[in-house]
Amino acid sequence: MAAYFCGHFSYMEFVLILILGGTIDGATYNPLPFSVAVMVLERLLIKCECNMEIVFATNNLHKLEEISALLGENFQLLGLKDLNISEEIPEDHATLEENASQKAWYIYNRTGKSCFADDTGLEVSALNGAPGVYSARYSRMGEITFPDMKPAEGNIRKLLMELEGVTEREARFRTVIALILNGVECQFEGIVKGEITLDSSGAEGFGYDPVFRPAGYHKTFAEMDLELKNQISHRAKAVQQLTEFLTGM
């Protein structure tokens, strides 16, 4: 199934194209039979009236908390725990786009519920975009490894070691969200630019937050409260597009 970057039209426009027929990014959709179209619309209207239920396919509770705050009250956000899904979701591709898609389809096929997944990478210019898609397991790869440390701690240690003596410390977080609604996938992207600090600082957030300082700020993400991080972060930007798409009806 193809994925579409959906930042440029709303959910309702998207649904109407799927029902009435039309073209999205070069793919042509034939109109649905009348009875099927009525059924789809009825189901969508019921969902719109009572807070739309949507699954966020993640095992990361920090991400669940961040996205729950970002989506607000229009959505009933379900985590994997709510669905009694405890297994590790596969994410074994080489790009954020493919991994986000893989995670979302895995849960959609398992539950049949509308759902989305994100994949995020920290891309450091001086390291040619590493750790990128391998951000979660950076400290367990390659020559320098820290198998005895907690992953987040080891990742940061390794990153600071790789950047020792490097003055050009430009980096960005990039999030890709894959949303699956009624068997059709849409993707959204959010980017925040900044730099890698010389040392860890701050206790909020998770992952690489203690060493990432967003451009225009004097604090790392880990020195900011969640409210501020949620106004400017990569995930916030991608989620904003997602909510605009879902609520722009």
Please give the positions annotated as active site: 119
What is the distance between the alpha carbons of residues 199 and 220, in angstroms, rounded to a whole number?
10
> Residue 164 Cβ, how far from ligand ITT at the closest point, in Å?
20
Q: Least distance to ligand ITT from the beta carbon of 96, Å? A: 8
Closest by CA position to 213, among listed 226, 196, 230:
196
Residue number with CB closer to ligand ITT (4 or 206): 206
Quick one: 90 or 248, whose CB is closer to ligand ITT? Answer: 90
Q: Which is nearer to ligand ITT, 37 or 152 (CB)?
A: 152
Least separation in angstroms between CB 131 and ligand ITT: 8
Cross-strand partners of 172: 123, 193
Task: Give the whole-angstrom CA distance, residue 178 versus residue 102.
Answer: 9
Q: How far apart are CA 189 and CA 54, in angstroms?
A: 19
Encoded amino acid at 154, one letter: G
Residue nearest to ligand ITT (CB): 207
Of 88 and 148, which has the nearer Cβ to ligand ITT?
Answer: 88
- Give min distance, CB of 245 to ligand ITT, in A: 20
- CA of 174: how far to CAs of 105, 163, 193, in Å? 20, 20, 9
Task: Find the farthest-apart pair of alpha carbons in the chain and give their distance in angstroms, rounded.
Answer: 66
**Interface ranges with ligand ITT (CB under 6 A):** 58-60, 63, 91, 118-120, 135-136, 152, 155, 205-209, 221, 233, 235
Q: Please, which residue, 25 or 95, has the CB nearer to ligand ITT? A: 95
Phi-psi region of 79 (alpha: psi -120 to 50; beta: other; left: phi over 0): beta
